[in-house]
Structure 1
Amino acid sequence: MRSGWFKKRKLQPTLVVLLSIFILLLMGLLSIVMYYSTSRLISSKLSEASLSELEQVNSLLNQRMTSIKSTALSIVINPEIKEILARGSVADTYEQIRNNESASRILSNAAYSRSDISEIMIVTDRLSIYNYSNPNGFYELSRIEDKPIWAYVDDRKEGFIPPRPNDMRNDGYNPKILTYFHEIAYGGKSLGYVFINLQFSSFKNLLQGTATGNRLFYTDENNEMYNDEGDLLSGSAMDEMLRSFADHLQGYTYTHLDSSKYLSIFTSPNDFGWRIILFKPYKDVVEGISGLFTRLLLVVLICFILAVIAVIYFSRSITQPLKRLIRQMNKIGHGNFDIQLDSDYTNEIGQLNERFRIMSVKIHDLMEESEREQNQLREMELRALQSQINPHFLYNTLDAINWMAIRLKAPEISKMTSNLGKFFRLSLNKGRELTTIAAELEHLNSYIHIMRYKHNNRFEYEEDIAPELLSCETIKIILQPLVENCFVHGLGPSKGEGQIRVTGRMLEDYIQFDVWDSGTSVDVAWLNQVLQQGFESRLGYGIHNVNQRIQLHNGSNYGLTFVEVECGTLVQIRLPIKIIEEGTV
C-alpha cells in the first residue's frame, strides 16, 4: 500500500479522521455481529421453548392415535365380529340381518364411547346384505375400491389415511375426517378392514393452542404435508422443505414461504411417523430486537462521539509537543540557541526532545568551534601575509650585504649571507604552500650550512634520501623545524656537538622521513600524547605547526610520531605519495 498521500497531510487531522473511521467501522461491525448473534440466540431459545411445547402436543397426538388403534384392535379381535365375517354370505338372509344389527350395536358402542369418533365401519366383501341406514356397520368393499382412499389401504395391514371430506356416508353429511384402518383376519385369511373415521375438528382443536399467531402444519408417515385445515400441500418448494426436515430428527430452520421468512420448528416423528411443524413469522421472532438494535445504535453513536473526543485529545497530546519542538527548531534555524523543551515527557516524545537538546548543544559547540577556526584562519592569513613581507625585506637586505662582503673581500660573510638568503627565498616559495621534496631538502641544506657557522662544525650531519622521492609533492618547511628542534633540545646541552641523521624512504603506500639526533632522550609517550591532544608545551611551536599543517592538508592518518630508540631522539614523518610532473610546482 502506497503511503505517499500520508506524507502530504497534517498529522492531527489525519489521525483524527483515520482513527474515527476505524472506530466507526469497528463499532458498526460489532453492532451487526451483536444484532445477528442476539437474533440467533433469541431464535434458538424461542425454538427450544416452542419445540418443547410441540413435542408435548405431539405426545398427546401420539396417545390419541394409539388409543384409536386400541379401539380398532378391540374390534379386530372381537370373536363375534370374526364369526359374522367368517360365515359371511353362507348365512341365510334372516341371520345376515341379525348379524348386521349385532355388528352395528358393537360398532356403535365403540363409536359412542369417544367424542372424537364420527363412525366406525367394517369394509368387507363377505356379505350379501348390507345395512347403510346406520353409519356404524358393514360397508361393501366394491363401493370403496374406486375411491382415492383405497390407494392408502391396498397392500397394507393398518395405518392412518390423511384428512379428507367424509366420502363413506350416504346421508350427505360429509365433514372432514381422519381415518384409521386395520385389517381383520382369521385363520390367515383377510376378512375385511375396520375403518374408524375421526372428526378432523377434534384433531384440529388439539393443535389449536400452539398455532396462535403462527402457521401449523403436519406430515404423515409418507412425508406428505398438510395444513391445519387438512389440505395437502404440494409444489417444488414444499418438496425441498420436506426433504430438509426428513434429514433431521427434530429441530428448527429458516424457511421462505409465500415470499415471507419463517422460523420453522419441527418435532421428531411419533410412533406413527407423524410430526408437527410450526411456522413462526420471523418478524415476530425479531420484533423486540429492532428496538434493541435502535438502542444499540444510540449507544454506539454515544461511544463514537466519546471515542472521537478521546482521539482528538490523544492526537493533540502527540502533535502539540511536536509543534512546540518545531518552534524551537525554527529558533535554532534563526541562530537563537536559547530554547525551552518539554522535560516532563518520559516516552518517545521525551526521548526526541532529549536527542534534539543534545543535537542543539553539539550544533552550538560546532558553530563556536567553526567561528574559532575562522578567526584562527584569519590570523594565520595575516601571519602568512606578514611572513611573506618580512622574508622579502630580509632577502633584499641579505642580498645587499652579500654584495658588500664580496666588494670587501669577506668570502665567509658572503657565503653565510648567501645561504641565509637562499633559506628565506625557499621559505617564501613564491607564496605557494606546496613544493617538491627536492626543494624541501635544498631548504634544509641552506639551514644546515648556517648552523655549521654557528656551531663551528661541532656536529655531524648525514642525509640518506631515496632518489624516487625527489619528484614527490609535499607542503613546505616540514624538515627544517624538526632539525632545528634537534639543535635546540637534543644538542643544546652539548652546545651543538653530536650527530643528526635525516633519511627518507617510499614504503608501500606512504612516504616516511626519519629525523634522529644523538642528544638528550625524551619521554616518547608524553610527546605523542601532546601531539594528539594539540596543546603546546616545551616541545615548541614549530613541531606543532608541522604536525597540524600535515594533518590539515592530508588527513589525520599522516603527521609526526616520536619513536622510542636506545639513544637520542627519533621522530618520523608520514606523508602521502604524490608524484608530480616536472614544471607543475
Structure 2
Amino acid sequence: MKWFANLKFRYQLVTGMIFITSAALFLIGQLSYSYFYHRNTNEVLRRAGSSVNMAGDSLSSQFNSLSAATNHLLVKDPFPQMIADINNYKFTGYARYFTSATAVTDSFLQNHDLVNSVLVCGDDHIMFSPSSLGISRHFDQLLPEDIWHYPRITVLPSRYSSVFGKEGVIPISYPVSSILSSKHLAYQDIPNCRKVRFILLIDTDQIRDYFKRMSNRYTYCMYLADENGQPLDIIKKDYPDAFLPQICKWIADGSPGQEGTVKTENEDLFLTMDRIKFCNLNVVHMTKKSALTGDIKELRSFFILVWIACFLAAVLLSLALSGLLTRNLRVLGTIIRSINDKTYTKRREFNHTDEISLLGVQLNQMYDTIHLQLIQIKDEEQKKAMAEIQMMSEQINPHFLYNTLECIHFQILNGHSETAEGMLESLGKYLRTTLSFGKTLISVEKEIEHVTSYMEIMNRHSSDGILMETKIDPQLKDCKIMKILLQPLAENCIRHGFEGFISGFEPVPPRIDIVISSTENNQIRIEVTDNGKGIDIEVANACITENSPESQKHFGLSNIQKRLKACYGDSFHISFISIPYLKNSVIIELSKDI
C-alpha cells in the first residue's frame, strides 16, 4: 500500500473512513441481498409446491372423472355398434349413426367444460364428429402424428384446429375396440381388425385459465407436460424455455413433488413438478431467477442511496476531523515550505504546549542553527569553487604563451616588426580575456573576441591559415557564459582535426565555424564545428566522464567538463556529431540563468 502511505494524513483519514464505510455497507448489502433472495426463493418454491399439488390433485380428479364419463359414453348406443362396424370394415352406417351419436355426445359435452368436441375415427381417416360430417379431409391438419402406433391412452400436445375454430385443443387419443358377441368394450386394438380411435379434444384455454388462477406473481409459466417432459398446453413461441432439452429431461427423470434448479444459457430456472394419476402427466411450475431478484433491486437501490449518503457524510466528517487534527501540522508544513523556498523571514511563534507546538519551537531553533551553518558552508563553497575554476583556467595550455612569446622574439630578430606588432596586439586581447580581473563569467561577445584573438595568433605562427567564422544570435551577445570555453574547443579542432595536413594538399580547405543560438527551452546552444578528420565519439564521451582513463589523456575536453560542472552544476549538456571532412561538431547547451 505504498500509494496510501504517500498520501497526506488528511487524505489517508478520508480514504480510510470511506473504505470502512463502503466495506461495511457492502457487507450489509450483500448479506441483506442474500437473506432476502433466499427468503424469496424459499417462499416461491413453497407456493409453487402448493400450487402444483393443488393443480395436480384437481386435474387428476377432473381427468379421472372425464375418463369415467368417457367409459359411460362409449358403452351407450350407437357407439358400440359404430366401433364394431369400423373394426369390421362396415362403413355404410355412418349416416344413420350420426343423429343418435350427436344426441348422446351433446349431453356429454354440456356436462364437461374441458371437452371441446369428440371424434371417432378409423385408420382410413374416416371420422365422426357431432360438429361436422365432412372433417375427414382435415385429418392430417388436426392430427399429423401417427396416432395408430399409440397402443394406450395418449395425451397429445396442443394444436390449432381450423375445423372447430379454436386457438388450441389438446387431443386425448383412446384406442378402442368393440366385440358385439360379448358386448365388451376394450381400450386396445384387436389383431387383424381396423384400428379405431376415440379422441377427446380438450379446450386449451380452459387449462391455461386454470393454471393462471393457480399461479403467483413470480410464476413464469405453469403448464401440463407428458411423461417425456414435452409441454402439452403451451406453444414454443410463447414459452421457449419450457421446450429446452434439459428442462424436458429434468421432468422425465423426476419424481412427484420434485423441485430444483436448471441452468440455461440465459439464466437459472426454478422448477417444481407433481404427477397426475392419468397417463403419467405432470404439472410443472417454472420461475425465472430474474423474477426473484426483481424485488430485491429496490433493496439494492436503497443500499446504493444509503451508501452515497454515508459516503458524503464520511467525506465531510473526515475532512472536518482531519482539518482539526492537522491544523498545526499544516502550520509546520508551511514553515518547512517557506524554509525550502527561502522565504521564511517572519518567524511563526507557538504559544501552546502540545506536542506539535513544542515541535514547532524546536523547528525554529533548528532553522536558526542550520541557517548559520549554511551561510558558512556557502561562503566556503564559493571560495573553493572560485579557486578551483581559477586553477583549471590557468591550466589551459601554458605552453601556448611561451611559444607565442618565442615566435614574437623570432619575428623581431628577423626584422618582421609589423608581424610581431600584430601578434603582440592579439596576445594582449587574448590575455585580457584570460585574466579578466578574476571574473569567472564574461559576455558571449567577449568570449568570441578571445577565441578570435587566439585564432589570429595561431594563423600567424605559420603560413597555413585556418578560416574561422562565427554566427551569434544578436540577443545573446550580452549574455554571460563561462570564460575560456571556446578557445580549448578551437585548439582541439586544430590539433586533432587538421593535424598532419600538408600545405597545398589538404583534403578540404580547413575551416572552423562557431554558432551560438537559443534553444526552445530557453538555453544557450554553442556549436563548434570543423571539417577535419573527425571525432571518435566513444573516446570523446569517455573524456567527459569523470575519473576515466581517457579524461587523463585528453586534457582539453576533460578540463571543459570539470569547469562547467563547477560553474553550472548539472544544468549543462555536451554532445558530439562526426562526419569526417564535412561536419565534426562539439555541442554544448547551457542554462541562461546562473
Fold agreement, TM-score > 0.5: no
The TM tier, using the shorter chain, reads 0.3 to 0.5
TM-score, length of structure 1 as denominator length:
0.42
